[in-house]
Structure formats: C-alpha cells, structure tokens
A and B are shown apart, each in its own frame.
Chain A
Amino acid sequence: MKKSHLFVMAIIAVAAAIILSTTADASVYVGFGEARQRAAEGNTTKVHVVGKLPRDGQKRPIGLEYDPMKDASYFSFTLIDTLQVAQRVVYLEPKPQDFDASEQVVITGQMKGDVFLADKILLKCPSKYVKKDLDGATAAN
C-alpha cells in the first residue's frame, strides 16, 4: 500500500470521527413532554425547547419570578411549548432585559426534578426582523 493511500485513509478516519462526534453532540428540538420522558429514562443530553410565555389581558407575561435583592442569579418563569404543555423553567442568570417583550423563546437545557433548568435563552423579539410600525405615522404632514 502506498503512503498516500495511508494518508487518505487517515483523513477519512478523522473526518468520520468528526461526523460521529457532531452527531453525538447535536441537540434536538423537543417539547416538554419528551424532555420529561428523556429525563425519566436517565438521558442527560440537553435539548432545545421552543415556546411562548403565557400572558394576561394586557399582554403582560404571567408567572415571572425574579427578585434581584434575594438572588441576582435566579430567574424562573413558565413556558408553554408548541404542543401547549406548560413547564416551570429556572435560569440561573439574571433575567434577560428584553424578556417581557419576546414573542418566542428558545431555551436549551434539561429537566431537573420538577423544573427545567435552562442554561441558555434565545429570544425572538417581534420588531427585530422587519420593522412594521412607524412611530408618529398618524400625524399627517
């Protein structure tokens, strides 16, 4: 066998290892139901959950708990996933400043007992992508 063949095989082996490790590390988008099921089975891989915040009549989110005076790094809230399953989520960081206005919330983490422990929160805010409102547009001039 020529040396160059050996070299090519080594490259293929490394590339295959990269693909395998990516497959192993890749997370999934799931609902809370499946997240609970995974935790019950002892599967500790972190998952992504997409959801919305429950809101009252004035569109204010309900059930946010953040008291920086007691613990600056403790924020908990309820998230309703796309299958309408509600779940209490705890995030051990300060509450993100634009949290209240977010239209959609993506969290990553895993179930710990009764709560979902999130280690990352990604917010999608309504006006971030295309600006649709025009301030003061009612004034005809």
Chain B
Amino acid sequence: MNLLIGNIGHLSVIVAFAAALVAAYSYFQATRGRALGDDDTNWLRIARGAFFVHGAAVLTIIGCLFNIIQAHRYEYYYAWSHSSNHLPVEYMISCFWEGQEGSFLLWIFWHVVLGFFIIRFNRKWEAPVMAIFSGVQLFLVSMILGIVLGDVKIGSSPFILLRDFMTDLPVFKMNPDFVPKDGTGLNALLQNYWMVIHPPTLFLGFALTLVPFAFAIAGLWKRELTAWVKPALPWTLIGGGVLGVGVVMGAYWAYETLNFGGYWNWDPVENAVYIPWLVLVASLHGMVLWQKRRTGLRTSFALVVATFVLILYATFLTRSGVLGNASVHSFTDLGLSGQLFIYMAVFSVLAIALLVYRWKEIPISEKELTLYNPELWVFVGATVLCLGAFQVLFTTSIPVYNSFMGLLGVKTNVALPADQIAHYSKAQLWMGVGVALLSGIAQIMWWQRNDKTTLVNSLTAPTLLTLLGTALVVLLVRYNGLTISPAYVVLTLAGLFGVLANFGTIFTLLRRGVRLSGGAVAHLGIALMLLGVLASAGYSNIISRNVSGLLYSREFDESLNRDNVLLWRNETTTMQNYDLTYTGQFFDVPGVPGYVDKQFLFRTDDDYKALARSPIVAGGKTYYKTGDTVAIMPENTYYRINYKDRKTGDQFALYPRAQVNDEMGEGGLLASPAIKKFWGHDIYSHVSSVLDPRKDKQWSEEKDHVLAVGDTIFLNDYFAVFRAIEPAHETAGLNLQKGDLALQADMIVHGEKRQYHVHPVFVVRNRLVGRVPDEVDDLGVRLSLTNIDPTAGKFTFAVSTTQKDYVILKAMEKPFINLLWSGTLLMAFGFGLSVWQRGRKSSVADATEAASAAAPAHAGRPQPVS
C-alpha cells in the first residue's frame, strides 16, 4: 500500500486546476481593455507564473500515474483495471491512456507543451491566446479532478483506490488494506505497437486545433480581425498533417488488429475524428486564401471555430456514453456527461456569439470571383470537404437525436443505417471525386496567370492522359473478369486527374524551388489515397468464399454468400488460386524470432512458463534446449496457415491470431488477422472460429490394445508401429528421483505429412504406478502405457482420440492497398514541406509583411499556396 504517490498525484491535479484558474483570470486581466501586445505586465507575470505551475503540476500527475502503473500498484483502481504483471514494458505506456482519465491527461499535456511554445514564440498574442488556453485547461483538468461537492461529483480521478471504487466488495470489509496480486490487464486489442504511438499523435492533433481557434477568438476579441491568420496558419498546417496521419494510423491499427476485414468501419469513434479533420483541412484552405489572396476571411473564421466545436462535440460523443449500443469502442462512461456537455456548450456558445457579434466587421473581398480565379476553386473544394463532413456528422449523430428526444420525453427509435458502409460511401465517393478534381485544377491555376489560352494549354495534357489512363483501367478491370460501376469510373477518372495534375505542378515547381511544392505533394498523396481506397475497398476479393454449392441450410432459396471455410489440420483445401493448409497452433515466445509450435512445448501449472520438449531452433540458432523452461505469452495462439499459389508454386505462411480475452466475457476469443504484403496487393486472413484453446479437450473413451515390440496398429486412422521400450529420459515435468523406475514406449505414428514419435511414460515410485500419457495434437491421438507384463513381453496401451483440430478461416485479397499507405506518407511529407516553407518565410516575413498585406491579390508573381 503506497498512499503517498496517489496523494501527491491528486494534490497535483488540484494544483493544476487552481493554477489554470489563476492563469486564465490573470491573462484575461492582463489584456482586458488594452490593445494587442500592450499587456499589463504585472498581471502578465502572475499569469505566466501560474501557467508554469500548471505545467509542472501536470507533469507531476503524469509521473505519479505512470509510476502507479509501472510499479504494479494494484491498490489503485487505474493500475488494477488497465495493467497486469505480465504486461510487456512497452504496453505500460498504452495502459496509461487506455482509460478516459489517462487520455484526458495526454490531451492536457499537449496543451501545456503548445502553450509553452506560444509563450515563447508569440509574445504579442500571448495574453489573449493563453487566456483561452488556460480556460480550456481548466475544463479539461476538471474532468480528472475527482472531487465531490455536496451531491455533485466533479471529474473522475485516476488516483482513486480500488477499495474506494468497489466499496461493496466483502474483502475490503474484512481487510481494508487488501491489495490484489495482479491486475486485470490491458485490453488485448490494445497490445499493439500502434496503440503506443497512435493516441499521442491523435491527441496532439486534437490539441493543435486549439491553437488556430484561440488565435481566431483572440482576433475577434482584440478586434485584430486580419492579423491572427499569419501566426495561426503554421499551427493549422501542422494540425492538419498530424491529425490526418493520426486518423490513418488508427485505420492501420484496425486493419492489423480488428477482424472486420478492413481499415475503416465508419464506427462513430472513427467518425468523431474524421469529421473535425475534414473541417480543419477546409479551414486551412480558407486561411491560405486570406493569407495569400486576401479573400475568404469570414470562411476562415467560421471554419476554424467549427473545427474546434466539432472537436468538443467528438469528445462529448465518445466519452459521455451517449453512443451506447452504436459503437463498439467508445470509452467507458464515467458519468461525466454533464461536465462534458457544459465544456462543449460554454466554448461553443461563447465562440459563436463572439463571431456573430463581430461578423459585420470582418473584411470581405470586393472582387467578384470568376471561373478563371483559382481562389474560386479552392473555395469550392473547401465547401466540398465541409459537405462531406456534414454527411458523416448528421448520420453519426443519430444516437444523439434519440437521447435528445428522450430528454424531451418523446421516445424515438431511429437507428444508424443497417448498411453503414453503403450509406457513407455513396456520399464520400463524390466528395472524393470533388476533392481530386478540384485539387488538380486549383493547383495548376494557382501558379499561373489564367485566361482561356493558358488554361487550355495547361489542362490538355493531364486531361488527355487521364482519359487514356481511365480507359486502360476499365479495360484491365474487365479483362480480369470484374465489373466497374459508372461511379467507380468517375472516381478513377478524378483520382487519376488529381495524380497527374498535381504531379505536373510539382514538376513545374521544381524549377522554382522544391519547398513551394508542399501543397501539390500533399494533394498528390490525397489523390493516391483515394485510388488506394477505391481499389482495396471496392475490389476486396474474398478468397475463402464457399463455391462448393454444398449448403447446410435450406431456409433460403437464393444463394447467399458464405465467406468462411473450415480447414482441417494438415488437410489441404483449394480456394481460388491458392492451396491452403492449416498446419498447427503456435505460441509467441519472447526472444525467439517467429513462432514456436505448441507441440514442442509442455505446459506447466504456471500459464506463462512451458518446458521445451525438443530443441527450439530458429534460423539455425538454438534458443532453448530440450527440458529448458521457456517463457511464453499464453493469451495468444497463432494458427499457421500455409498458402501455396497454384500457378507459380510460391508458398508463404500466415499466422492469424486468436486472443483469450476475459474482458469480453467468459469464452471471449478475439481474432486478429495476419497480412502478407505484396507490392500490388495484400492477402489478409483471420480465423473466424476455432476450438477454444483453453477448454480441455473432450477425449473419447480409452480403448486398450495389448502389443508386443514391433507390432503395428491403427490409431485414429493412422498407421503406427510400436518400436521399442526404453528408459524414460529428460521427460518434461516428471522430476525423476533416485529409485524411481521410469519406462517409456516409442511409438511411431505415420501422419499425413510426417512421422511422430509418441512417448507415453510408465513410472513406478514407492510401489505406486504413475502414467504420463502423450499426445499428438496434429492427429488428435492420446496414448498411455497402462500396463506392463514383463514375463510375456506384452504392453497394454490405452488409446483415445479427440475432435480433430480445425480452424474456420476468412481470407481476402486487398488490391493496391499500398497506394493508400504511400499516399498517406506523401500527404504527410507535403504538409511537412509546407510547414518548412512557412517557417523559412516567417523569419524574413516581418519586414515584408506590410508590403504583402497591402498588395492586391494578383500583384506580381503568384505566391505559394501553403
């Protein structure tokens, strides 16, 4: 029992809360009634000090919580419910943010880091911007405050003790100092390296949306209606890149870990991040339009505010429990809905009210945009993004409508669309078309003077190539015996145009400086991502489809798809172009590359330890000798599936995984796929159902066979020879002592693939007879040596058989999915280039700022887009 660390942690939470309050108030006072940059130095000093104290307190909270997890202090609920003794160190980090409190902390932490950057680099804007930052921190810290005032519980503390959380448990009545020996463990699905890096990326993206929001509100507040865009723009850029990468990381995690057969499931939790990202990217375009061409300021204001409000809404959606049945992976409801709602309402109402109040004062461009202005197309593109976001938002909010009507006393029963993928795709597809086409056109036009001739000249080549390429794609698709719908043709056309037009732009810009091409590179990445999504999702091919025509059910007339096959162990099944064989169950042994066959391991009473039955060799190196104790990870069983390409004869093995997960209830097994990557496609397989690895096998009644050495018998249809009887040696787990008599039989069983030595053991110790049976998992046979008649030279074997092992497998082919991932990398790289370009410019920009602000939109040489 270590109460000190929790008390330090909880105290730090209270300090962080109080300091945020002081900082918010002091920053407010420092700038109240004064012009931007002309702050009251006394208040400013207090405010800055308070924010530093806040930052230090936040770091202390994180340190305390991490110590509780890392030192396995199970007297704390957080450690007990999110961690366990056997958890590898790297996943202790994931434990930290598995719970709501930890993820709030992560978010708070990034705000602190960003706040320090602003204090250091944006002195002029510090007071109003940091007043908003501190206000946000105040609300966020309140979520983990864990204080009860009267009947109202404010926040949920991560430092709550197990005994205070589960007060009803009888053990605490007997012994208040009871500490469990082990925790309940991290959700097995989160034991993945992406879960170490994805949440911090996502929350950094979330935190980054606060920066442009705070600048915009500061601009409205201080009547600096135009100047805020410049310091805020790099942050928006970084935010767009980070959040975009974060979203795709989540998608990649889902692809690798979950078994719904893809990377995106339109789950409300995924949507809750996707929506603000789309609007954030739209707002980025608005800000670039203002910064470079002096138009679209109102749009920028509206979209920057909308992005942050949507982040707040996403927080409310995923953490308040309002989604209920609609999501499989929203956070546990901590009863914070009221607090979350207040947080969302306060900032939304204040921001929108301030925006409406100043709306008329926000300058607009006098110039009417024509079709020859790239600004128009950028603007249309931003609108398309917002409409796409709107569709997802409107549908994802369906559970909210029910709750809202419930509050009004009306019972409604609207549910999310039954086929969500079809519902979202039909709008998102057209958004993709719009984005790809507009990004191509706008990028070309942005960098040149536009009239009819120049436009025709620059658009002809990409258009012709696009038409040619699309025709080729359609022909190739048809040639492969697949169909392509008109909508897919249009998306291919748009995607190819986006790729070619942006590629052309990059090529032209190379002469003018690579750094300028950030926007074109990012857009090229997006266009590639669209093509990758189209190919991999639109043409995902189920290899394991049952085409045998043998159906068990007679209830339906029409033939319905059967997407899973049963594979018997060591029997080869042909599916489309592949011969598939399931060849056994494997464990992951830390330190040994690859996987280790369960048949080489003898399980002991300790779940996490096994004895090697034969040398464990990988890549020519012996890792364990026979009889060594091997540390294993017993939750995960890997099912080895051999794939053999029937045309080329190439072979590879995949190891899809089933994970014992008691959190999902008893008997919970979670399947995760295994993926084989080729340059042009992925082969994706997961088990859909397996014989439960934890349940004891059901053995048939034993049958006795009396044999002499050299006799042959049939065991479960396999031919077997009783070769010899020999002294037992190195037998796993027997602990032979002096004076014991131990004999083992050597029986060779001829399986389909190979021969197996079976060694049932017969022990006499202190005149008591013991028998250790031996099994062949591959064949489902168990042998024990039950009796020895030395005079007649006869040996009695008891033979029993079990259900032969099988897996039910689903296998898919995902064509060109690498376009999606490489497109994402390009997009991130493009964002990076743009940030670099801005950073370079801003160091010389102060001198030229006045000039560029005064210049009309089309003066001189066109300027970089982002």
Contact = CB atoms under 8 A, between A and B. Distances in A.
A47 B166 contact: no
A65 to B, nearest CB: 10
B808 A72 contact: yes
Contact of A18 (B166, B427, B546): B427
Interface of A: 2-3, 7, 11, 14-15, 18-19, 21-22, 25-30, 45-48, 50, 67-74, 76, 90, 92-95, 97-98, 100-102, 106, 108-109, 112-115, 117, 119-120, 122, 124-132, 134-138, 140-141
Nearest to B171: A137
B667 interface: yes
Contact of A27 (B178, B333, B417, B566): B417
B257 to A, nearest CB: 15
A31 to B, nearest CB: 10
Contacts of A137: 169-171, 178, 180
Interface of B: 81, 162, 166, 169-171, 174-175, 178-181, 184, 325, 328, 332-333, 368-369, 380, 383, 387, 390-391, 394-395, 398, 413-419, 422-423, 426-427, 546, 550-553, 555-556, 560-566, 658, 661-671, 688-689, 692, 806, 808
Contacts of B550: 71
A119 to B, nearest CB: 7
B418 A101 contact: no
Lowest 4 CB-CB distances: which A-B pairs, in order? A71-B552, A101-B665, A46-B418, A125-B665
A72 B551 contact: no
A134 B169 contact: yes
B166 A134 contact: yes
Q: Which of B661, B667, B670, B806 has the most CB of A within 10 A?
A: B667
A128 B230 CA distance: 47
B562 A100 contact: no
A7 B670 CA distance: 50
Nearest to A15: B390
B414 A98 contact: no
Contacts of B178: 137, 140-141
Contacts of A30: 413
A27 B417 CA distance: 5
Contacts of B546: 72-73
A26 B174 CA distance: 53
Given A72-B566, A101-B667, A129-B333, 20 more contacts: A18-B427, A21-B427, A22-B391, A25-B422, A26-B417, A27-B414, A27-B416, A30-B413, A69-B806, A71-B553, A73-B546, A74-B551, A90-B555, A93-B563, A97-B689, A122-B325, A127-B663, A128-B665, A134-B162, A138-B171
A97 B806 contact: no
B555 A72 contact: no
A70 B565 CA distance: 11
Contacts of A102: 665
A44 to B, nearest CB: 11
Contacts of A115: 555
Given A112-B556, A134-B166, A97 B332 contact: no
A108 to B, nearest CB: 5
A26 B398 CA distance: 8
A19 B401 CA distance: 14
Nearest to A108: B418
Contacts of B171: 134, 137-138, 140
Contacts of A129: 332-333
Contacts of A98: 661, 664-665, 667-669
A125 B413 contact: no
B553 A90 contact: yes
Contacts of B668: 97-98, 101, 125
Nearest to A110: B418
A94 B666 contact: no
A41 to B, nearest CB: 17
B438 to A, nearest CB: 14
B72 to A, nearest CB: 15
A91 to B, nearest CB: 11
A93 B564 contact: yes
Nearest to B690: A97
Nearest to A132: B166
9 contacts: A18-B387, A71-B552, A71-B562, A72-B546, A74-B552, A97-B670, A97-B692, A135-B184, A136-B180
B174 A130 contact: no
A25 B419 CA distance: 8
Contacts of A25: 395, 417, 419, 422-423
Nearest to A75: B689
Contacts of A71: 550-553, 562
Nearest to A103: B665
Contacts of A136: 180-181
B564 A47 contact: no
B694 to A, nearest CB: 11
Contact of B387 (A11, A47, A101): A11
